Amino acid sequence: MTKVLKVATLLTENQLKEVADCLLSGGIIVYPTETVYGMGCIPSFPCSVESIFSIKKKSRSPVILLVKLEHLPYIVKGYERLSGILSMLAGKAVSFVVRPAVDLPQIVLSDAGKLGVRVSQLPLVEQIISRINSPLVSTSFNISGEPPITVIDSVDWSRFPGVDIALDAGRLGAVPSTVVDITDFPRRIAVVREGQVSLEFLRSLLGGVRVEKA
């Protein structure tokens, strides 16, 4: 049975301990992000990632890892070449497709071996990542094909068996993050999904870099 915790900007120490203990034992949580509610676990538990796909009724697909800014040099292959665009767009509801610099379970990678990462500057998420000392899997909290969930106080949890803890932070925005593939930067970036950050904004911000839809 899912346990729902009402949360504010930051988790209390008791809430943080409960969430961290859950994740570190392979559990699955629902939590607020800068965009919509996410569902996640620790990526080093591949069975938990598989369970998330099962909950979403979705075939296996790449997920995004939420990280802190200081994690990027260790996670992103070719960080020196990409540091400018990563720093410029970090915290702007942009998820990056990169090459991983570390060994990760295949289940969190694309068939081409690419990795999705997003720097979260939401204090609550930063708290969790710091406490578990690990990136946090992030995929939208919904059944595949249905709209992302932005309010969870009326969720029918029987539709989401396997979620251990849900953090209720009230109503969130309805637009997901923009996903950009920067593996060919600075030659080009490919917009895999246009979300909160528009194609036009990216083109104006990045000047001479070719920005196109994937």
Give the rounded percent of residues in the chain with a pLDDT score beyond 90.
Answer: 77
**pLDDT at residue 178, rounded to an integer:** 93
- The reported pLDDT for the residue numbered 177 is 86
pLDDT digit string, tens, across residues 143-156: 999 988 999 998 99
Q: Which domains does the chain have, with CATH numbers?
A: 3-179 (3.90.870.10)
- Residue for token digits 């969130």? 172
206 or 48: which carries more pLDDT confidence? 48
**At residue 63, does pLDDT exceed 90?**
no
- Measured CA to CA, the distance from residue 107 to residue 118 in angstroms comes to 17
Mean predicted confidence (pLDDT) in 179-191: 94
In this prediction, residues 94-111 reach a mean pLDDT of 93
CA atoms within 13 A on the CB side of 124: 20
pLDDT band, residue 92 (cuts 50/70/90): confident
pLDDT attached to residue 189: 94
The 10s digit of each residue's pLDDT in 3-61 is 999 999 999 999 999 999 999 999 999 999 988 899 999 999 999 999 999 999 987 77
> What are the two backbone dihedrals, phi and then psi, of residue 182, each rounded to the nearest 5 degrees?
-110, 20
- For residues 72-97, average pLDDT: 92
pLDDT-based confidence at 188, cuts 50/70/90? very high
Q: Where do we find the tokens 């895999």?
A: 192
Phi, psi of 99 (to 5 degrees): -95, 130
Whole-number average pLDDT of the chain: 93
Helix, strand or coil, per DSSP, at residue 55? helix
What's the predicted TM-score (pTM) here?
0.92
Amino acid 18: pLDDT: 98
